[in-house]
Structure 1
Amino acid sequence: MRFNPKARLDQSRVRDAGSGGGGGGGLGGGLGGGGMRLPIPTGKGGIGGIIVVIIVVVVGLLLGGNPLGGGSPAGGGAYSPARMSDAQQGTDRYADCKTGDDANNSSDCARVAIENSLTDYWDSELGGKFRPEKEMVTFSGGIDTGCGGATSDVGPFYCPTDETIYLDTTFFQDVLERQLGGPTGQFVEYYVLAHEYGHHISNLLGFMGQVRSQQTGPQSDGVRLELQADCYAGLWAQHATQTKDASGQVLLLDLTQQDIDEAIAAAKAVGDDYIQKRAGGRVDQESWTHGSSAQRQKWFMVGYDGGTVDSCDTFAAPRV
């Protein structure tokens, strides 16, 4: 993938919260308001009331709770953010991300460019139904969110209460590559960001309200929501080279088969069955919360291979 050196980047929705800065409660007490994330393995013991849609794999154990908790529905209610600590007020990590040339030379600036591309695509696709996510926030250590406290252990996630995407960028090397044996390559992160942005789109379109609590399994509502986010990620990838900056300059010059192969490999590495095997346990379909590797790969390709927003309606599909 190459970015257009002439493109101008909009940093207004991308912020780095720095290190530390909260995340009280960790895995057991955090994210009580409905955050949604990729499943990741952890060496910690219990995970208490963690919500079902964002299940964390604990060395062979999957456990669930309430998928939407206190998260506000799409378009509903005002969000009043908690006071951020000094460490969360932000750093200048993205201050020099101004052009596509910067994105070609910096992974941080590439992240800004991908956010811009996702926002432009979904704006053009949804029209009046669209509003961008409030922010895409990187952090390390811990952070306080509208869905509660989070630590680096939770992996990338979307919080519907504050309509913000959060990620510790060490996740890709420390967890996805080292623990899960997932692929390397820059498009792996872009697939994950597009997936989390897909949760924002599901929120805007009202699909999150269709998720019933305490459901797991390959055909459950929680899995359907996750697969929809994968489909939306593929849908964006299909149109990524057509997205533009505010002046009309194309943001991405090309997308290669290698990029798509990296996304498909990443989808495999975060499949419930793959993670269960990786953790040394048996494959238990009835505990699935995100879908199998095959399901995740399939729905990414439904979006990428000529798909539409309607074809990503996993809730209407007889089987996913």
Structure 2
Amino acid sequence: MDFKDDAELDPSQVEDARASGPQPGGGGSMPGCGAMPGCALPIGGKGGCLLVIIGLGAILLLGQPLLNGFSGEYGNQHPPSPRQPQPSGNLADRCKFGADADQSEDCRIVGIVNSIQTYWKQAFAGRGRTYTPARTHLFGGTRTTVSTACGKADSSVGPFYCPADRKVYLDLSFFNELETRFGAQGGPFAQAYVIAHEYGHHVQNLLGTMRRVGNDRQGANSGAVRLELQADCYAGVWAHNALRTGFYTEPFSKRDIDEALSAASAVGDDSIQRRTQGYVTPEGFTHGTSAQREKWFSVGYDSGDPGRCDTFAGRI
């Protein structure tokens, strides 16, 4: 993935809090459950916040929890990743053009976020709707915890989206864990897929799709799985349309797409269950099999049409 050298970046869409240290206050704390899909932990406090890690990241929800709680089904004692990217200066000073995104991981994240949100702004406008941007909040490094409108999290939980404040929260060390713990191929486009997936949850929030899950929170055909697969499909839709957002020099290569498919496959319910417990229990699925995750990313990527991402209709 190669950015246009003169493409103007908008670093205001990304908040960098990594150098500010632990953040006090801001909701109930939650025990670390690790960057492991399928883990749900109560945060506590008024409103019944729940951390729900599904797929490549998480959703922090207020009110009705999206999934039933798990008790460390995929393990919660793994050590933190040794890779702790450190910021070097303000993003606004360092991330101005696409050439910067080709040289710096931080600026690449800015460019990816910019492209994703440019696409969704275009897509919403084409359907007579208004897209409300969401910021990505970088934490980690010396800042080990982050407070959100949904509660307090730490770096062990991986990427997540909070509907209450409409922000994506991201510790870049997760991408190393995606390779070392989940066995994904890794690479820049694996990062893009993770971020596009989280912004897929933002789109679901704006469209009211999250309400369709109701109490159908677990199982091979559950609403929770359908929600997750739709976010994968939305990630593929962006990838198909990314060139026309003006940030890239050419369409994504087969290698790029293979990185996304590898990441999707690595965090399928069946793959994780085989690796952690030695057998598959479909009644415990929360986000779909490896094959389903690859399929729905591909549906989005091949069609480029978010209308093809209705995972709530028919078989998945």
TM-score range, shorter chain: 0.7 to 0.9
Kept in 2, the 8 Å contact 1:38–1:156? The answer is: no
User: Where does structure 2 lack aligned partners over 5 or more consecutive residues?
Assistant: 33-40, 58-63, 77-86
Does residue 171 of structure 1 match 2:174? yes
Q: Counterparts of 1:55 and 1:253 in 2: how far apart (Å)?
A: 44
Q: How does 1:54-203 map to 2 (within 5 A)?
A: 58-60=72-74, 92-95=89-92, 96-127=94-125, 128-140=128-140, 141-173=144-176, 175-203=177-205
Kept in 2, the 8 Å contact 1:268–1:294? The answer is: yes
Aligned to 2:37: none
Q: What's the offset of the Cα at 1:55?
A: 7.1
Aligned to 1:30: 43
Aligned to 1:9: 9
Q: What's the offset of the Cα at 1:51?
A: 4.5
Q: What's the offset of the Cα at 1:131?
A: 2.6
Secondary structure at the counterpart of residue 49 of structure 2: coil
Q: What's the offset of the Cα at 1:33?
A: 3.1
Q: What's the offset of the Cα at 1:25?
A: 2.7
Q: Which amino acid counterpart does residue 112 of structure 1 have in structure 2? A: V
Q: How does 1:225-240 map to 2 (within 5 A)?
A: 225-240=227-242
Cα–Cα, structure 1 residues 223 and 267, in superposed 2: closer, same or farther, change >3 Å?
Answer: same
Secondary structure at the counterpart of residue 311 of structure 1: helix
Cα–Cα, structure 1 residues 109 and 167, in superposed 2: closer, same or farther, change >3 Å?
Answer: same
Does residue 253 of structure 1 match 2:249? yes
Q: Counterparts of 1:171 and 1:98 in 2: how far apart (Å)?
A: 25
Aligned to 1:270: 267
Bigger CA drift: 203-212 or 187-196?
Answer: 203-212
Secondary structure at the counterpart of residue 252 of structure 1: coil
Secondary structure at the counterpart of residue 115 of structure 2: helix
Q: What's the offset of the Cα at 1:20?
A: 2.2
Q: Could you state the TM-score of these two structures normalised by the residue count of structure 1? A: 0.80
Q: Which amino acid counterpart does residue 8 of structure 2 have in structure 1? A: R
Secondary structure at the counterpart of residue 168 of structure 2: strand
Q: Which amino acid counterpart does residue 247 of structure 2 have in structure 1? A: L
Q: Which amino acid counterpart does residue 131 of structure 1 have in structure 2? A: Y
Cα–Cα, structure 1 residues 58 and 177, in superposed 2: closer, same or farther, change >3 Å?
Answer: farther
Q: Counterparts of 1:267 and 1:54 in 2: how far apart (Å)?
A: 23
Cα–Cα, structure 1 residues 169 and 240, in superposed 2: closer, same or farther, change >3 Å?
Answer: same
Q: What's the offset of the Cα at 1:179?
A: 1.3
Secondary structure at the counterpart of residue 228 of structure 1: helix
Kept in 1, the 8 Å contact 2:216–2:224? The answer is: no
Provide, for residues 166-185 of structure 1, a one-character-per-residue CA deviation record: whole Å limited to 9, x for no partner. 01110111x21111111121
Q: Counterparts of 1:57 and 1:252 in 2: how far apart (Å)?
A: 43
Aligned to 1:284: 281
Q: What's the offset of the Cα at 1:133?
A: 3.4
Q: Counterparts of 2:6 and 2:289 in 1: how far apart (Å)?
A: 40
Kept in 2, the 8 Å contact 1:52–1:289? The answer is: no
Cα–Cα, structure 1 residues 159 and 35, in superposed 2: closer, same or farther, change >3 Å?
Answer: farther
Give aligned pairs, total: 278
Select the residue among 201, 218, 221 that pairs with 2:220. 218
Cα–Cα, structure 1 residues 235 and 40, in superposed 2: closer, same or farther, change >3 Å?
Answer: closer
Q: Which amino acid counterpart does residue 238 of structure 2 have in structure 1? A: W
Q: Which amino acid counterpart does residue 145 of structure 2 have in structure 1? A: G
Provide, for residues 250-309 of structure 1, a one-character-per-residue CA deviation record: whole Å limited to 9, x for no partner. 211121110000000000011111111121342110111111101100000000002412
Aligned residues: CA RMSD: 2.6
Q: Counterparts of 2:219 and 2:249 in 1: how far apart (Å)?
A: 40
Q: Counterparts of 1:139 and 1:216 in 2: how far apart (Å)?
A: 30
Cα–Cα, structure 1 residues 57 and 277, in superposed 2: closer, same or farther, change >3 Å?
Answer: farther
Provide, for residues 50-69 of structure 1, a one-character-per-residue CA deviation record: whole Å limited to 9, x for no partner. 9444977835479xxxxxxx
Cα–Cα, structure 1 residues 126 and 278, in superposed 2: closer, same or farther, change >3 Å?
Answer: same
Identity of aligned residues (%): 44
Q: Counterparts of 1:54 and 1:144 in 2: how far apart (Å)?
A: 23
